[in-house]
Amino acid sequence: MRRIGVIGNSVCSEEVIQIAEEVGREIARRKGVLVCGGLTGVMEAVARGAKAAGGLTVGIIPGNRASDANSYIDIPIVTGLGYARNVLVVQSSEVVIAIRGKYGTLSEIACALQFGIPVVGLQTWEVSPDIIQASNPAEAVIKAFDLLPH
Amino acid sequence: MRRIGVIGNSVCSEEVIQIAEEVGREIARRKGVLVCGGLTGVMEAVARGAKAAGGLTVGIIPGNRASDANSYIDIPIVTGLGYARNVLVVQSSEVVIAIRGKYGTLSEIACALQFGIPVVGLQTWEVSPDIIQASNPAEAVIKAFDLLPH
Amino acid sequence: MRRIGVIGNSVCSEEVIQIAEEVGREIARRKGVLVCGGLTGVMEAVARGAKAAGGLTVGIIPGNRASDANSYIDIPIVTGLGYARNVLVVQSSEVVIAIRGKYGTLSEIACALQFGIPVVGLQTWEVSPDIIQASNPAEAVIKAFDLLPH
Amino acid sequence: MRRIGVIGNSVCSEEVIQIAEEVGREIARRKGVLVCGGLTGVMEAVARGAKAAGGLTVGIIPGNRASDANSYIDIPIVTGLGYARNVLVVQSSEVVIAIRGKYGTLSEIACALQFGIPVVGLQTWEVSPDIIQASNPAEAVIKAFDLLPH
């Protein structure tokens, strides 16, 4: 099973929700396991997309209760770690797709680059040439699978 | 998906390995997802048992590399947290089965009891009447499923 | 600076509060730095005792806000890790004194024994001969200092 | 006690070491407690500077052994958390000074901005107008103290 991480905001526009859902669907179509933060916004939309295409979803949540996970998460990982759980979302992914996002997403992108985990960006922070930019969801997922370690 | 945690030593006797494998098989037969620490000893034996019966296995590992997980883990959660990852194994389980074990296992049992997560014991620490003792693997798994929250 | 950890409940009786305060005073008289969880109950009483004797206090807190620390903490370490911060309290101490306590304290005692950090017990869990029992606060602190690694 | 965090690389040039030492001295002169990651490079230089001016230093280290801390750390906080300890360095500081740095530092800067902890930058990432830029060590420390919450 290949693990594709998706990161982004817990609050986002309808446009971003559409993008995240499409990313989730494409990951599931390619038999990837979705790894995300398990909450709302991008995390919920990408999980909903993955489930719509029959995928498997893992949500690494910051709080103490599995019920904090959105309803599209198959396997909640209950950390109780608060913000530090972001590091686990990144480290548990073989490649990361970043969708828009603010400082939390920037912190995760930097963390991935620090670990040498490839990052594909969709309308997100452009702070480094190491971020592989994509112009739409399908392209982002294709690039992510191409970047998977062998 | 119901999440059944199994805890125990990373080094153990052949007898304990047999017990752990049988526990893993029984969990998988009942369609439970196995949650464990992902390394050797009890963690490897229980995952091997679960895979032999067609189950799904999650390994929450202490190090930084997914390749640290034993070869029966489907989904490694890479924490890099060292010993603190034990708290995540416990919190991510709906019920915990403890097999033998030393201080690390005692710490996890106490952690589960603290959180109100039911603990089934197989030849393990008897430090509290809150630990539900079982006399063999099949009984332990039956009791564990009975203790699952509704 | 020698780091003496003290663990125990966040809710406790007046008798336990007296014990904890005396432990704090004795640690400070011997120029030890107090390491604790930084909240209420035993954690507050021991810090109050340490400050009364001119000591330095470190509180490793589970939440996200330094203001969660009790008012006798000089240096709050803000972890946001929830329950997993207990592992840090133990690991950051050179020796641990356990006062009474329930499952949370048991988990920390087991964690210390696992790491090879000496544990002195005051009216606490007697689950192992590796716990050095003491019969009063002064004796506990004397034994703790004797157990410090060279 | 006011807690001033300093972040930067574990490997750095002689020029950056000079800057970090001066930052450490200025923090100590203003009676600030230095919070840092406790290892080499910027972390060691800033702690050396702080001790030279009679300050108090806290090192929140990623590994399991207090002896991993550099020799200018008064109080090692032993986390065993690996990379996730960066979040604790940031959260435990009332203000953060970032000196140069690569992706690890970028991740910490983003983390601080996410938490609303003020960031002063010295020759570091300029990814947001929320980072208060300074042109020399003394100015950075003056700005950091000015940004402390009341």
pLDDT at B80: 97
Number of residues in chain B: 150
Contact list in D for residue A111 (CB cut-off 8 A) is 83, 103, 107
Q: Provide the token pair at B13.
A: 């006797």
Mean pLDDT of chain D: 97
Residue D115's CB is within 10 A of a number of other CB atoms, namely 18
Answering whether pTM is above 0.95, one says: yes
- Would you say residue A150 has pLDDT above 90? no
Residue B116's CB is within 10 A of a number of other CB atoms, namely 9
Check residue C75 and report its DSSP letter.
E
Give the strand order in the sheet containing C32-36: C75-78, C56-61, C32-36, C2-7, C95-99, C119-122, C131-134
Question: Is B110 close to C104, i.e. CB distance below 8 A?
Answer: yes
- Would you say residue B150 has pLDDT above 90? no
For residues B91 and C105, what is the distance between their CA atoms, to the nearest angstrom?
A: 17
D84/B contact by beta carbon, under 8 A? yes
Chains that touch D (3 or more CB pairs under 8 A): A, B, C
Instruction: Express each pLDDT in D45-85 by its tens digit.
Output: 999 999 999 999 999 999 999 999 999 999 999 999 999 99
Give the distance from residue B38's alpha carbon to the nearest chain C alpha carbon, in angstroms.
19
Q: Provide the token pair at C108.
A: 């920390």
Residues 108-127 of A with CB under 8 A from D: 108, 110-111, 113-115, 125, 127
The chain C residue lying nearest D5, using CA atoms, is: C77
For residues B36 and B55, what is the distance between their CA atoms, to the nearest angstrom?
A: 13
Instruction: Express each pLDDT in B6-65 by its tens digit.
Output: 999 999 999 999 999 999 999 999 999 999 999 999 999 999 999 999 999 999 999 999
Question: What is the ipTM metric for this complex?
Answer: 0.97
The DSSP string of D50-84 is: HHHTT-EEEEEESSS-GGGS-TT-SEEEE---GGG
* Percentage of chain B lying above the pLDDT 90 cut: 99
B91/A contact by beta carbon, under 8 A? yes
- State the count of interchain CB pairs (< 8 A) between C and D: 54
Q: How far is CA D55 from CA C3, C55, D22, D71, in A?
A: 18, 17, 13, 14
Spatial CB neighbours of D18, under 8 Å, sequence gap ≥ 6 = D45
Considering only CB atoms, A111 lies closest to which of D83, D88, D113, namely D83
Considering only CB atoms, A103 lies closest to which of D81, D110, D125, namely D110
B65/D contact by beta carbon, under 8 A? no
The chain D residue lying nearest A106, using CA atoms, is: D110
Are B137 and B23 within 8 A, CB to CB? yes
Are B83 and B64 within 8 A, CB to CB? no
Contact list in B for residue D80 (CB cut-off 8 A) is 81-84
Chains that touch B (3 or more CB pairs under 8 A): A, C, D
Give the distance from residue C96's alpha carbon to the nearest chain D alpha carbon, in angstroms.
14
Are A128 and A113 within 8 A, CB to CB? yes
Spatial CB neighbours of B148, under 8 Å, sequence gap ≥ 6 = B2, B94, B95
Considering only CB atoms, B80 lies closest to which of A33, A80, A87, namely A87
Find the angle CA(D102)-CA(D137)-CA(D20) to the nearest 5 degrees.
50
Contact list in D for residue C68 (CB cut-off 8 A) is none
Give the distance from residue A97's alpha carbon to the nearest chain D alpha carbon, in angstroms.
17
Mean pLDDT of chain A: 97
Are C26 and C144 within 8 A, CB to CB? no
Question: Is B58 close to A66, i.e. CB distance below 8 A?
Answer: no
Contact list in D for residue B82 (CB cut-off 8 A) is 64, 80-82
The chain B residue lying nearest A36, using CA atoms, is: B77
Instruction: Express each pLDDT in C119-141 by its tens digit.
Output: 999 999 999 999 999 999 999 99
Instruction: Express each pLDDT in A17-71 by its tens digit.
Output: 999 999 999 999 999 999 999 999 999 999 999 999 999 999 999 999 999 999 9
Question: Is B84 close to D82, i.e. CB distance below 8 A?
Answer: no
* Percentage of chain C lying above the pLDDT 90 cut: 99
For residues A102 and C129, what is the distance between their CA atoms, to the nearest angstrom?
A: 52
Contact list in B for residue D68 (CB cut-off 8 A) is none
Check residue A100 and report its DSSP letter.
S
Question: Is D106 close to A110, i.e. CB distance below 8 A?
Answer: yes
